[in-house]
Structure 1
Amino acid sequence: MAEVAIVASAFGAQAIWRDGHAAWSVSARRAGAQAFEVRRELMHDADAQPEALHALGTALAREGLWRVWSTPDSLYTEDGALDEAALCAAVAAGRALGARFVKLQLGGFAGEACAARLASLLEELGARTGEAGDGPRVVVENGQLEQGGKLAQFVGLFTALREAGAAAVIGMTFDIGNWQWPGEPPLLAAAALAPHVEYIHCKAVAGEGARRFAAAPGDDDTLCRAALALLPTHVPRGIEFPFDPACVAAEAAHYVEWLAAA
């Protein structure tokens, strides 16, 4: 059985804005989740300060939940440079929260990994790189935009890191649904990137073109199950689709159980 995280947005963006992340930790724990993903884009600036993040992490830990810190910031800038400021800020926030993972978007990586600098900076920050370091583990996620959402970028990144002897410095969050926005085949991506995947976002996608949106996998959904079969079975899986607001508790418990066993 895989560990399951509930992404805060699954409870509804407006609910998180209104109540704060900690208010929904009891719901996550009662649903049977082992982890809770905190979203920077659903926080007021005051709530993202170190003391507030430490307090939030303590509250989540009291519920028995380990933490993921998610930021919409990118590891690489639009022109392909390593965004050191964004990386430093993300790791600092994750450390304050007591997070296991710190998740960023990939951004504009275009063939030059800056592998040596990335490895040395993560070491300076005390982030966990492979077996070394006691801080949070940095993972990059495939996004919904062309930039940071193409399979070739991720293959190029991990190839460059391996060739520089720094293959283990970061891992990947594999979002099953996000590949569909830039038109990439999720199963091809899963087969290619499985060795680097350390956390999985699970969601189905409804709609077409720019009108796509995240949805709960149906009983007849074969894509999520097929992707999960290609990805590591021991890594945590995150619920990143909205629960029905009319039956949040029941849906949360159902999908935690479903995803743990899928």
Structure 2
Amino acid sequence: MNERKFESRAEVVIVSSAFGAEAIRRDGHAYWAAAASRAGANGFEVRRELFADESDAAAGALRELGEQIRALGLWAVFSTPATLFAADGALDRDALTQAIDEGAALGARIVKLQLGGTPDGTATDAATLDRALTAISTSRAQVVVENGQLRAGGTIDAFAALFDALPLDSDALTMTFDTGNWLWAGENPLDAAQRLARHVRYVHCKAVQGEGARRFAVAPAADDANFAALLALLPRDVPRGIEFPFDPAALEADAAARVAWLATA
């Protein structure tokens, strides 16, 4: 008898900005979460910077949004542009606490901040990391830091130094690996994946076109060997977020096609 082989599927999150920043600000996250659900996504990423008004970040508003997302059969990621480390490299505990509190109100599974720090990295002394881990211990969500598009908070060495300094048995602070942002920061994504894969708990997926400051995010091509190599290096059992723009002429059809593709890529 031939054994049937079942294809493993990754969980796919649609990042709200994939539908267009102006559309999210105009219609609200809940409207587009419904589109993400129809597209077959598992999760939906709420972007704090896309709130139309600061009142959208109030605890009551976040709870209502979280309930709407769950009613659609989705789980939530809460993303904030705030940085875990300030521009001088010191821990920004207030930003961390705020992100955790807002993520809790939303009922998020993952809370994502930018790493921040200086172009040379972040504070990694034991006292600083103990304060960070103490704050993170209050979070029911997985707290992750993402590689950004600037050298400050976007270098492989900064992430490696931080994770090397954390206790070996700690999985409290991990990372979102953005496949495209490394290029803005002048880093090689494949090198980043080889060094940091064991710390990755969420992947932001996109390809990049253009050069220098004129780079922009695009959907990876079906024959993009570099993107395929990146996915092969990164853990398969973590969610994959679509952070490239959908075709504006066929938003929902394109969203459904991209979710189906990324789940098995």
| Both proteins in one fold, TM over 0.5 | yes
- The alignment status of 1:74 with 2:79, answered yes or no, reads no
Please name the residue that 1:13 is paired with. Answer: 21
Please name the residue that 2:63 is paired with. Answer: 54
Please name the residue that 1:32 is paired with. Answer: 40
- The alignment status of 1:156 with 2:165, answered yes or no, reads no
**What amino acid is aligned across from residue 112 of structure 1 in structure 2?**
T
Secondary structure of the residue aligned to 2:166 is helix
Please name the residue that 2:252 is paired with. Answer: 249
CA distance in 2, matches of 1:166, 1:8: 33
TM-score normalised over the length of structure 1: 0.94
Deviation at residue 111 of structure 1 after TM alignment: 4.5
**2:90 and 2:122 in contact (8 A); partners too:** no
Deviation at residue 167 of structure 1 after TM alignment: 3.1
Please name the residue that 1:132 is paired with. Answer: none
Please name the residue that 1:141 is paired with. Answer: 146
**1:142 and 1:179 in contact (8 A); partners too:** yes
The match for 2:10 among 2, 5, 12 is: 2
**1:119 and 1:166 in contact (8 A); partners too:** no
CA distance in 2, matches of 1:167, 1:106: 18
Secondary structure of the residue aligned to 1:103 is strand
CA distance in 2, matches of 1:203, 1:217: 6
- Which runs of no fewer than 5 residues in structure 1 stay unpaired? 128-134
Deviation at residue 224 of structure 1 after TM alignment: 1.6
Please name the residue that 1:195 is paired with. Answer: 198
Deviation at residue 120 of structure 1 after TM alignment: 1.6
CA distance in 2, matches of 1:223, 1:240: 17
CA distance in 2, matches of 1:26, 1:78: 37
TM-score normalised over the length of structure 2: 0.93
CA distance in 1, matches of 2:238, 2:154: 21
**What amino acid is aligned across from residue 18 of structure 2 in structure 1?**
A
CA distance in 2, matches of 1:26, 1:38: 13
Secondary structure of the residue aligned to 1:235 is coil
Please name the residue that 2:6 is paired with. Answer: none
- The alignment status of 1:112 with 2:120, answered yes or no, reads no
CA distance in 2, matches of 1:198, 1:117: 22
Please name the residue that 1:228 is paired with. Answer: 231
CA distance in 1, matches of 2:135, 2:214: 39
Secondary structure of the residue aligned to 1:99 is coil
CA distance in 2, matches of 1:64, 1:223: 33
Deviation at residue 222 of structure 1 after TM alignment: 1.6
CA distance in 1, matches of 2:95, 2:223: 40
**What amino acid is aligned across from residue 89 of structure 2 in structure 1?**
G
- The alignment status of 1:217 with 2:245, answered yes or no, reads no
Deviation at residue 231 of structure 1 after TM alignment: 0.5
CA distance in 1, matches of 2:48, 2:165: 29
Secondary structure of the residue aligned to 1:14 is helix
**What amino acid is aligned across from residue 209 of structure 2 in structure 1?**
A
The match for 2:106 among 93, 97, 102 is: 97
Instruction: Report % sequence identity.
Output: 57
Secondary structure of the residue aligned to 2:245 is coil
Secondary structure of the residue aligned to 1:190 is helix
CA distance in 1, matches of 2:225, 2:250: 24
**What amino acid is aligned across from residue 73 of structure 2 in structure 1?**
G
CA distance in 2, matches of 1:204, 1:161: 31
- The alignment status of 1:208 with 2:217, answered yes or no, reads no
Deviation at residue 220 of structure 1 after TM alignment: 2.1
Secondary structure of the residue aligned to 1:229 is helix
CA distance in 1, matches of 2:67, 2:226: 36
Secondary structure of the residue aligned to 2:109 is strand
CA distance in 1, matches of 2:123, 2:170: 15
Q: CA RMSD in A?
A: 1.0
**1:17 and 1:42 in contact (8 A); partners too:** yes
Deviation at residue 169 of structure 1 after TM alignment: 2.0
- Which runs of no fewer than 5 residues in structure 2 stay unpaired? 1-8
Secondary structure of the residue aligned to 2:64 is helix
